[in-house]
A and B are shown apart, each in its own frame.
Chain A
Amino acid sequence: MKRVTIIAALVLVMYPFSVFAQSSSTSYQVNESTFNSGGNIDTNSASYNARGGAGDLGVGESSSVNYVAFGGSITPDQEYLEMGLTSSNADLGLITPSTTGIGVTTFYVRAYTNGSYVVRSTNQPPVNGSYVWNAMATAGASIAGTEQYGINLTANTSPTNSTYPAGAGSNPTQTPSTTFANGQAATGYNTPNIYKYVVGDTIATSGGGRAWGRTDYSLTIIANIGGLTPGGAFSVDQDLVVVATY
């Protein structure tokens, strides 16, 4: 009987290595197991933290010093990344030496990774023929009368114009809550009323390592003209690329 007990213990030790988030047979497979009921749970103690969720974005993490477990509708077993625009155009309008053009567009990133994600802006500033608008290589405030093109991802109170009399933009919002999403504006693009634009820069990133849930970003664009900014129509297709590391 003693011998049986020892062998059974071996079986139990082996068992955890075969745990999967997926269930399958020759004719059936469930890639993600989801039970959409209940609500958020956020329980903490000195040595234990547990979070769980329900619904489409119900993703959670339970952890202690030596243990991390995930649960929810999308688990780390499946790399996931989604990006979308929730507004399509940013019309900066008519810009004069004494006024600033302001535009706002919104996008979201929904990711589930064990690592992190970054959002990069890959295109040149707006162009008029062969003329490229002067981008703000270093972060700074908007100055009417000086040629500038910059962006940020925060709530601003300056500059203002007739379309945005109180300033433009908003801070990143986490959906459904900060329990599930952790996207944030990147350094250089996260200070109110300070703008910057460098092609290829990371403008947003997941915070705190792991990323899950959905973060909605508001991208504020400002543009000023100088004496040499040529007259005419300027335009560009803003190309945002999100890169996740798993």
Chain B
Amino acid sequence: MKNKIHHILRPLVVLFLVLSTARVSAVPPRFTDRFVNNSSSIPSAQVTQTIGFTMNSFSTVGSIQMEQCTNYPFIGTTCTPPAGLSLSSVVFDSQTGNTGFTIDIINSTSNKIILTRVPSPVTADPNTYVFTSITNPSANNQTVYIRISAYASTDATGDVVESGGVAYSTQGAFSVGAFVPPFLTFCAAVTVTQNCSAVTGTFLSLGELLSTQTKAVSSQFSGATNDPNGFSVYILGQTMTAGNQVISQIDTPTVSLVGVSQFGINLRANTNPAIGANSTGNGTSVVSPNYNVANQFVFKNGDKLTSSSLSTEFNLQTVSYIVNVSKNQAPGFYATTVTYLAVAAF
């Protein structure tokens, strides 16, 4: 009876052992720390794809297959290639860890990259394999599995010695939009704050004009713009007049001459006469050369006083007006109105 039981059980046990052993050997070790990093998830985008994993089998490996599918990550199951995915122009950019691989261009396909090398044992160093010029799948919200498997052979045939899956997802980008209104902020008055938050006065009095003394007063303007091409400030107006009597304007930069009829301006800090201030502020506006020399004055209707060729923060400018009269200057009530014009192109 004992022998009979042994006779019956022995083949069953052997069968169990064979089946169990076969099942174990059919499951290759899994890569660890597996990932795929795409430079973009936008469908159909040209991307750089970095695939990383660690091999722990210490087996001899001559090839690695990376197959992209939309149905399963499982090695050996039917693969549905992602629509629109193209690996046909892929460039093998770099490799770390277990290296020495090149693309097997004969056996690689539009959804499968096979890396090949002279078979050699692998180490457990983290591997990264970077590929460029990959075209993402065309579908939106598409989950894509990459089945990664290593082989002892050089052409991804034979037994899988180690494997694992990773996944990535395509996704259309969302649009972010905003509109920034163009602006030109400008102010002119007797005194202004740099950011134009406050302005004071529109009237300047030179008092009694004398042939023995220069009369001088000042006003200010400030401006800023987000126009990429900047802005310019012009002065419009005439010299001082009293009826048909005129105080001559200074056509070219000239010093103040007491006893000579003159009307001129500049935008600098002067010592003769002591009037004015240099430009202040963090902007990029610059004063036109004719109006940018201390103690030199000039006035021409329509002249450009300042300009910036790019968007600029505020610059506060101080305009100094000087008036001299000769002994022969006709008496009268001399006055003028000047207008400051700021222009941006946008």
A-side residues, CB < 8 A to B, are: 1, 3-4, 7-8, 10-11, 14-15, 17-18, 22, 29, 31, 78-85, 87-97, 101, 103, 105, 107, 115, 122-123, 126, 128-129, 131, 221, 223, 225, 227-246
Contacts and interface: CB of A to CB of B under 8 A. Distances in A.
Nearest to B37: A243
18 contacts: A14-B24, A17-B23, A18-B24, A22-B74, A81-B167, A85-B174, A92-B177, A92-B178, A101-B178, A131-B228, A233-B178, A234-B177, A235-B178, A236-B175, A237-B176, A240-B41, A243-B36, A244-B167
A1 B73 contact: no
A227 B223 CA distance: 11
Contacts of B179: 93-95, 232-234
Nearest to A223: B178
Interface in B219-262: 224, 226-228
A190 B311 CA distance: 35
Nearest to B33: A245
B180 A105 contact: no
4 smallest A-B Cβ distances: which pairs? Answer: A231-B182, A237-B173, A92-B178, A18-B23
B101 interface: no
Interface stretch (B2-10, B105-113, B115-123, B287-295): B2-10
A84 B313 CA distance: 42
B141 A4 contact: no
A227 B181 contact: no
Nearest to A225: B180
A94 B313 contact: no
A24 to B, nearest CB: 9
B178 A126 contact: yes
B346 A231 contact: yes
A76 B117 CA distance: 31
Contacts, number: 201
Contact of B33 (A79, A115, A126, A238): A115
B253 to A, nearest CB: 32
Interface in B30-48: 33-42
A90 B346 contact: no
Contacts of A233: 177-180
Contacts of A97: 183
B166 to A, nearest CB: 6
Nearest to B45: A239
Contacts of A105: 174, 176
B132 interface: no
A130 B224 CA distance: 21
A235 B177 contact: yes
Contacts of B16: 11, 14
Contact of A126 (B38, B143, B176): B176
A78 B176 contact: no
A169 B2 CA distance: 77
